[in-house]
């Protein structure tokens, strides 16, 4: 195993040209901070050509090595990922990532990790796909610095790294504006009457004491004439987000403009920032400020947010040191291109003997997109939503060989299979929710997608 290598490359605020230079390699991924328009993103991570891939579906995980060896294993997929990653490495100063695992955990991975039912039919998408990347391009927008780093774990040696370096050095900054995406909406989600029936069922469950909150989502489907690269450039231009991502796999693509952090782990310090509470942006400065103030003062949205904060405090308590869990930020409004969100921050310190994958197992999927109590809410979701969520409400993860983790909740996320794309939007329903308002909130959250194809 070689020492960490790092090569400085020219810094550019928009890294489309760097990603485009690597798209012909296997399993390219871009973790996109949306800088500077997202108002909070700092790092972009671009990688490709993993030396091991893990793809899990219905409890069976296929591990494929770059040399051609393939094996299928059963059991805990997160445990298999831990085994494949090998020994941990030392963190390297200011670099947030020096190689490791990048990929997605689908919402339906919870069926493998737990004992949830499986009423809604599967459509062939994996429950998890993660690559182990020996090298990555790390862009630090705060320091205006760009480094191609290599961990030296790829058994193929430095061939992949050298090839990537040549392609990146020859990359030219993209100056053309994103092209328009073209397509047509062919499945408009739930009709109002179907949504109302599901809403009434949830209200009954709440009255009966089964649950306090359930996140109900609807799926939209469109036929497209654009490829994933064209579509993602349009999405990030219209709706930049601090947890954007483009992941291109042989079986399909994930295009995410997520505003929500799931779990972050830095040297034992854990942070999660759930979103619960939404208002659309106003069409003038005055109306926009009124929407923001309305969200901040809403007793319902604050109560809904607090339920999820309590749920996450409980989840973190499974793997964090007793007494270390804190809520340093509660009911803070953050504004994005199409909506305002109510956000809270929960922190803790990971217990000795636990690692990032234990943390994920304790908290997955995120409470902000399930409900409370989590397990019962997920059972109700499975009963009422006619199709599986697949990528939606799962997580895009970046887990370094140093054990540090960054991950998002995959909301505002589009799944692409061939010439069809799928997009979900939903919201939390509580005892005093109004059906019409909740249905409209789901449409507000889907506004960026509907603007492309509506």
The dihedral formed by the CA atoms of 235, 238, 407 and 143, expressed in degrees to the nearest 10: 120
Largest CA distance in the chain: 64
State the Cα–Cα distance between residues 368 and 377, nearest whole angstrom. 11
CB atoms within 10 A of CB 154: 23
| 114: CB partners within 8 A, 6+ apart | 375
The closest alpha carbon to 367, from 416, 309, 324, 319, belongs to: 309
State CA 259 to chain mean position distance. 9
Tokens of 233: 């450039």
- Is 332 a residue of the active site? no
**DSSP symbol at 320:** B
Distance, CA of 56 to CA of 128 (rounded, Å)? 5
Burial of 341 per CB tally in 10 Å (0-12, 13-18, 19+): buried
Q: Which of 151, 141, 194 is nearest to 34 (CA)?
A: 141
Q: Is 260 a catalytic residue?
A: yes
Residue tagged active-site, from 57, 276, 374, 445? 276
Which residue out of 57, 248, 253, 260 is catalytically annotated? 260
Cβ atoms of 47 and 32 within 8 Å: the answer is no
Query: Could you tell me which residues come within 8 angstroms of residue 120 by beta carbon, excluding any fewer than 6 positions away?
Result: 382, 385, 386, 387, 388
Question: What is the C-alpha to C-alpha distance for residues 62 and 399, in angstroms, rounded to an integer?
Answer: 19
What angle do helix axes 374-384 and 192-207 make, rounded to 10 degrees?
A: 150
Count the neighbouring beta carbons within 10 Å of the beta carbon of residue 276: 27
The three-class DSSP label of residue 194 is helix
What SS3 state is found at 62? strand
Pairing of strands 60-65, 269-272: unpaired
Q: How far apart are CA 152 and CA 1, in angstroms?
A: 6
Measured between alpha carbons, how far is 381 from 154 in angstroms, rounded to an integer? 41
What is the spatial distance between Cα 451 and Cα 239, in angstroms, rounded to a whole number?
Answer: 11
Q: Give catalytic residues, as residue numbers.
A: 260, 276
């Amino acid at each position: 195993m070689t020492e960490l290598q790092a090569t400085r490359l020219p810094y550019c605020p928009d890294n489309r040209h760097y990603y485009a230079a690597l798209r012909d390699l296997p399993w390219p991924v871009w973790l996109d901070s949306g800088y500077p328009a997202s108002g909070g993103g700092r790092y972009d991570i671009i990688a490709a050509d993993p030396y091991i891939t893990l793809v899990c579906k219905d409890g069976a995980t296929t591990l494929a090595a770059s040399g051609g060896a393939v094996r299928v294993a059963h059991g805990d997929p997160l445990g298999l990922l831990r085994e494949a990653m090998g020994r941990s490495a030392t963190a390297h100063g200011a670099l947030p990532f020096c190689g490791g695992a990048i990929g997605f955990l689908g919402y339906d991975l919870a069926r493998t990790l737990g004992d949830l039912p499986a009423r809604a039919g599967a459509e062939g998408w994996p429950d998890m796909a993660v690559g182990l990347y020996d090298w990555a391009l790390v862009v630090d927008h705060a320091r205006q610095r760009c480094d191609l780093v290599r961990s030296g774990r790829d058994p193929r040696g430095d061939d992949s790294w050298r090839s990537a370096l040549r392609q990146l050095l020859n990359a030219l900054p993209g100056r053309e504006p994103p092209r328009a995406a073209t397509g047509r909406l062919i499945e408009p989600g739930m009709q109002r009457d179907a949504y109302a029936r599901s809403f009434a069922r949830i209200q009954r469950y709440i009255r009966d004491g089964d649950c306090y909150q359930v996140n109900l989502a609807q799926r939209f489907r469109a036929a497209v004439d654009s490829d994933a690269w064209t579509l993602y450039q349009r999405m990030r231009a219209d709706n930049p987000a601090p947890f954007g991502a483009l992941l291109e796999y042989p079986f399909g693509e994930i295009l995410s403009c997520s505003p929500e952090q799931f779990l972050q782990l830095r040297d034992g310090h854990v942070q999660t920032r759930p979103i619960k509470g939404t208002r659309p942006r106003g069409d003038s400065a005055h109306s926009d400020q009124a929407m923001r103030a309305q969200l901040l003062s809403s007793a319902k949205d604050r109560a809904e947010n607090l339920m999820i904060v309590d749920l996450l405090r409980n989840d973190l308590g499974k793997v964090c040191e007793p007494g270390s869990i804190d809520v340093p930020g509660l009911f803070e409004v953050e504004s994005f291109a199409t909506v305002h969100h109510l956000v809270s921050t929960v922190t803790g310190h990971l217990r000795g003997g636990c690692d990032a994958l234990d943390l994920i197992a304790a908290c997955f999927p995120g409470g902000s997109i399930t409900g409370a109590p989590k397990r019962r809410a997920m059972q109700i979701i499975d009963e009422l939503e006619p199709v599986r969520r697949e990528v939606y409400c799962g997580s895009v993860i970046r887990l370094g060989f140093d054990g540090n983790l960054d991950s998002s909740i995959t909301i505002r996320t589009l799944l692409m299979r061939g010439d069809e794309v799928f997009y979900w939007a939903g919201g939390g329903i509580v005892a005093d929710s109004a059906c019409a308002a909740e249905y409209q909130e789901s449409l507000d959250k889907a506004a960026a997608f509907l603007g492309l194809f509506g």
